[in-house]
């Protein structure tokens, strides 16, 4: 009798597992813990046949993969535990792996406002990734970034109290030259005046200030023809309009220790709210970063 019941029990467990996975939208923010705990049923993370994820792949910077069910309709469960002194927003990049351990796709999740001492649960719906119908045999944590919740950058959702969305894009790279744009979108109801350059302060992976890097004005102080140059002219960003300023650097590595500054605390002008953007600045040993002037969106950033 017991052996006859085992297939039925397994089928019911699988059905419950997939139902739980279907309650979240992949890529969307998670604001509160799941009331039922681990939404993937407490299963252990699966491992890829040729390249099993090690401890660093399954747990990183307060994020842990807690369950996995493979295949194109499966899901992965994870949790975020925050031990800091103020609420933080987490941005997590996951790699989806094939049987051979190669990366089929990566996907990102944002976990908003995790309070000190709290744990928040979330899921990835594998069917909504670019991996499509290919079999996903493993999931690993590729990268974790976290910023103070009150300084988190947002590209969508409710308009901040400031009336501005401020964030950095993924940028362009060519032959060691890097260009990332800081964007300002006026989602409010009033015009916003800008003149000059954004204020930028750099921070490392431990959220400590990066010392020894010169912040220069005008992108041409590092390289020309990036679009992040020219005079700093007064502009007005009306409701529904946007502006941008370029960050330009080279990642040349010579003598010394290369500098990696994933975070940049930005103020669009003196006295404005601070936003912790995540431009991932691999500054090499050059010791300098150029900041271009604010420009209206119609002056699109140029590729290096």
Are 228 and 120 part of one and the same domain?
no
- Going residue by residue through the chain (304 aa), what tens digit of pLDDT does each one get? 444 444 433 333 333 333 334 333 334 444 344 444 445 554 444 433 333 444 447 899 999 999 888 655 678 899 999 999 999 999 999 998 888 889 988 889 999 999 999 999 998 887 767 665 567 888 899 999 999 999 999 888 899 999 999 999 988 877 689 999 999 999 999 999 999 999 999 999 999 999 999 999 999 999 998 999 999 999 999 999 999 999 999 999 998 899 999 999 999 999 999 999 999 999 999 999 999 999 998 754 444 4
Q: How many domains does the chain have?
A: 2
Are 189 and 285 part of one and the same domain?
yes
Are 243 and 132 part of one and the same domain?
no
pLDDT at 255: 85
Measured distance CA(295)–CA(245) in Å, rounded: 6
Residue 248 included in any domain: yes
Are 39 and 143 part of one and the same domain?
yes
Are 135 and 253 part of one and the same domain?
no
User: Which of 149, 184, 211 represents a domain boundary (last residue)?
Assistant: 149
Measured distance CA(104)–CA(65) in Å, rounded: 18
CB count in 10 Å sphere of residue 19: 11
Measured distance CA(197)–CA(231) in Å, rounded: 10
Q: What are the C-alpha distances in Å from 181 to residues 10, 150, 275, 302?
A: 51, 21, 14, 10
Are 96 and 171 part of one and the same domain?
no
User: Which of 149, 181, 197 represents a domain boundary (last residue)?
Assistant: 149
Burial (CB count <10 Å: 0-12, 13-18, 19+), residue 148 = middle
User: What is the chain's percent helix, strand, coil content, to nearest 5?
Assistant: 10, 40, 50
Are 135 and 188 part of one and the same domain?
no
User: Which of 114, 149, 184 represents a domain boundary (last residue)?
Assistant: 149
Are 142 and 187 part of one and the same domain?
no
Residue 206 included in any domain: yes
Are 127 and 178 part of one and the same domain?
no
CB within 8 A of 111, min separation 6: which ones? 29, 30, 80, 89, 90, 92, 120, 122
Are 279 and 179 part of one and the same domain?
yes
Write the CATH number for 232. 2.60.40
pLDDT at 7: 40
Are 93 and 182 part of one and the same domain?
no
Are 144 and 21 part of one and the same domain?
yes
Q: pLDDT, tens digit, for every residue of 146-182?
A: 999 999 998 888 999 999 999 999 888 776 899 999 9
Smallest Cα–Cα separation from 298: which of 248, 235, 255, 253? 235
Residue 285 included in any domain: yes
Q: pLDDT, tens digit, for every residue of 235-250?
A: 999 999 999 999 999 9
Q: 54 lies in which domain range?
A: 15-149
Residue 157 included in any domain: no
């Amino acid at each position: 009798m017991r052996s006859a019941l085992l297939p039925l029990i397994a089928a019911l467990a699988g059905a419950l597992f997939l139902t739980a996975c279907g309650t979240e939208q992949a890529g969307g923010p998670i604001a509160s813990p799941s009331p039922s705990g681990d939404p993937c049923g407490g299963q252990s993370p699966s491992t890829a046949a040729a390249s099993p994820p090690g401890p660093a792949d399954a747990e990183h910077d307060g994020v842990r993969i807690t369950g996995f069910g493979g295949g194109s309709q499966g899901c992965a469960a994870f949790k975020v535990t925050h031990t800091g002194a103020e609420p933080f927003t987490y941005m997590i990049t996951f790699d989806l792996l094939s049987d051979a351990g190669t990366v089929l796709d990566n996907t990102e999740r944002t976990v908003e406002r995790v309070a000190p001492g709290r744990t928040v649960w979330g899921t990835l719906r594998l069917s909504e990734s670019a991996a499509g119908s290919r079999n996903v045999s493993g999931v690993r944590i590729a990268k974790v970034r976290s910023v103070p919740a009150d300084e988190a950058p947002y590209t969508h959702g409710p308009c901040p109290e400031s009336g501005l969305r401020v964030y950095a894009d993924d940028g362009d790279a060519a032959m060691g030259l890097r260009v990332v744009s800081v964007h300002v979108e006026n989602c409010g109801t009033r015009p916003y005046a800008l003149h000059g350059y954004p204020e930028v302060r750099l921070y490392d992976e431990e959220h400590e200030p990066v010392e020894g890097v010169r912040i220069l004005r005008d992108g041409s102080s590092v390289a020309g023809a990036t679009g992040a140059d020219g005079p700093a002219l007064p502009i007005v960003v009306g409701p529904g309009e946007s502006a941008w300023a370029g960050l330009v650097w080279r990642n040349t590595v010579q003598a010394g220790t290369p500098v990696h500054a994933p975070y940049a605390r930005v103020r669009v002008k003196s006295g404005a709210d601070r936003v912790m953007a995540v431009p991932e600045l691999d500054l090499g040993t050059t010791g300098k970063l150029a900041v271009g002037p604010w420009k209206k969106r119609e002056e699109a950033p140029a590729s290096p």
